[in-house]
Amino acid sequence: MNIAVKVDAAEAAKADAHALPLDKINPAKVERFQDDTLWPYFERLRAEDPVNFTPESEFGPYWSITKWEDIMAVDTDHEAFTSTEGIGLGTLAQQAEMEKIMPGRSREMQLEAARRGEGSFIGLDEPHHGPKRKAVSPTLAPANIANMSPMVRERAGEILDSLPIGVEFDWVDKVSMELTAMTLATLFDFPFEERRRLTRWSDMFMNLPGHGPVESWEQKAAAIFECRAVFQDLWNRRVDAEPGIDLISMLAHNPATRGMSVDEYQGNVAVLIIGGNDTTRNTISGSVYWLNKNPDQYDKLRADPDLVVNMVSETIRYQTPLAHMSRVATRDVEIGGKTIKKGDRVVMWYISGNRDESVIADPNLYDITRERPRHHMSFGFGVHRCVGNRVAEMQLTIIWEEILKRFPMIKVIGEPVRSYSSFIHGYESMRVVIPARA
C-alpha cells in the first residue's frame, strides 16, 4: 500500500468507526489489522462504550474490554475468568477445518483436557498452571539470560555484518526472524543449523491458508506433524540425559512436567515456539518502523545510545505485538458497569489499553524518553504475565546496541506488509535500505 492510499484508508476508517452502531463495530475484524485502520474503532469504544458486546461475528459473540483498568481487572482475576476455553479469538472455520484433517484432536477434546489440567500452561488455570510455568521459568530468568547474552550479542553482530549496504532487502526475513530463531534455538538447545525450521513452524501454526507460508490446510497439518515428530525425538533424547538448562530438559526433568502426556508436551512446545518467535520478531521490525515514522526520536537515539532500553519498552507498548488475549467468565461478573454472564467470551485488548489516554499521557505519541517506559500492558498481568519478557527485552536491547555501533540509518522503503491477524500484531515483510556504515 502506498502512503496516499494509506491516508485515504485511514480517513474512511475514521468515518466508518463513527457511523457503525456500537454492536456492529466488531473490533477483531482481521482486515483492519492488515491495513492498519484499527485505531479509530478502539478510540470510539474507549470513549463511548469501553466494555462493548459484539453479539454476532466470524468469531462468535464476544465482549471487548478496551480500557486499562478494566483489562487489568480481567487479567488479574483468574478465578472469574478462565484460560481453559482458548486464549485467542480463533476463527470457528479454522477449528472446523483442522478437526477434519487431524482427527482425534478435536477442539472439544483439547478443551476437555485443559479443564482437567492437561495442556499447554498458557491455557490452564490454577492450581495446574503455576507448577508447569515454574518448570520452564529458570531458562527464561535473569541468571540464564546473563549467561546467554554474550552469545546473542555475537550472533546479532554477525547478522548485522552480513547485511548489504545500499541495496534494498527485507528486514523481517534477514534480521527479525534470524535473530529470534537463533535465540529460540539456544533456549531449546535445538540444532542450530536448522533454526529456521522453528520460524517456519511458528508461521505455519499461526497463519491461515493464503497467508504467510501457509498454502492449504493439509500443508499446515503436515507442518504441525513434522514439528511434533522432531520435538518428540528431542524429548526422547533429553529425558535420559543429564539435565541441562534448555527448555526441553527443564520440561523432561521437572517433577511437575516430566509425566506430561505427549499432547501436553507438544502444546507447551507450540506455545514456547510461538511466544518466542512472533512477538519479539514483530517488535524488532516495529522498532525500525516507528523510528522511521518518528525521525526526531531516531535522532535522539543516535545522539544518546543509552536511550536504547527506554526505546525498547516504548516500542513494545506502541507495537503491542499480541493485540489481545481472551478468557471466558466462570460466573456472572461486573466489569466497567456491565454484567458479563457466566460462559461469555471476553477479549482483553492490550493494543487499546496501551493507548488509554486516562492512564498514559499522549498515548499516541511514540516517545522514547518517557519516564516510566515499562508502564504498558503488552506482557499482560496476573498469573499468565509473559514469562519470556526479559528474554524479549534482552534481544531487542542487544540488537539495537549493535545496530547503533554500525549503521547511522536504516531506512524503511514504502509501507510494510502487515500480518493477517487480530491476535498477532506484526509484519510479514518490510523493505529497507541501509545507506552506509558508520
User: Would you tell me which residues interact with ligand HEM (CB under 6 A)?
Assistant: 75, 121-122, 133, 140, 187, 271-272, 275-276, 279-280, 283, 316, 321-322, 325, 378-382, 384-388, 391-392
The nearer residue to ligand HEM, 316 or 410, going by C-beta atoms, is: 316
Q: Give min distance, CB of 159 to ligand HEM, in A.
A: 17
- State how far the alpha carbon of 25 is from the alpha carbons of 34, 208, 296, in Å: 16, 23, 35
The nearer residue to ligand HEM, 111 or 409, going by C-beta atoms, is: 111
Q: Give min distance, CB of 164 to ligand HEM, in A.
A: 27
The nearer residue to ligand HEM, 17 or 329, going by C-beta atoms, is: 329
Q: Give min distance, CB of 140 to ligand HEM, in A.
A: 6
Q: Give min distance, CB of 279 to ligand HEM, in A.
A: 3
Find out whether 332 and 421 touch, Cβ atoms under 8 Å: no
How far is 317 from 17, CA to CA, in rounded Å? 23
- Torsion angles phi and psi, residue 168, rounded to 5: -70, 140
How far is 1 from 34, CA to CA, in rounded Å? 11
How far is 84 from 96, CA to CA, in rounded Å? 19
Strand arrangement, sheet containing 431-433: 169-170, 431-433, 411-412
DSSP state of 57: -
Burial class (CB in 10 A: 0-12, 13-18, 19+), 7: exposed
Strands 345-349 and 62-65 turn out to be parallel
Q: Give min distance, CB of 281 to ligand HEM, in A.
A: 9
The nearer residue to ligand HEM, 6 or 134, going by C-beta atoms, is: 134
The nearer residue to ligand HEM, 133 or 355, going by C-beta atoms, is: 133
Cell of 241: 540425559
Q: Give min distance, CB of 41 to ligand HEM, in A.
A: 20
Query: Which value, to the nearest 10 degrees, does the dihedral of the CA atoms of residues 86, 92, 97, 103 take?
Result: 40
Q: Give min distance, CB of 139 to ligand HEM, in A.
A: 8
The nearer residue to ligand HEM, 346 or 412, going by C-beta atoms, is: 346
Contacts of 225 (CB under 8 A, 6+ apart): none
Q: Give min distance, CB of 82 to ligand HEM, in A.
A: 12
The nearer residue to ligand HEM, 32 or 129, going by C-beta atoms, is: 129
Contacts of 77 (CB under 8 A, 6+ apart): 333, 382
The nearer residue to ligand HEM, 17 or 248, going by C-beta atoms, is: 248
Q: Give min distance, CB of 141 to ligand HEM, in A.
A: 11
Ramachandran sector of residue 436 (left: φ over 0; alpha: ψ -120 to 50; beta: rest): beta
Q: Which amino acid is at 122?
A: I
The nearer residue to ligand HEM, 336 or 380, going by C-beta atoms, is: 380
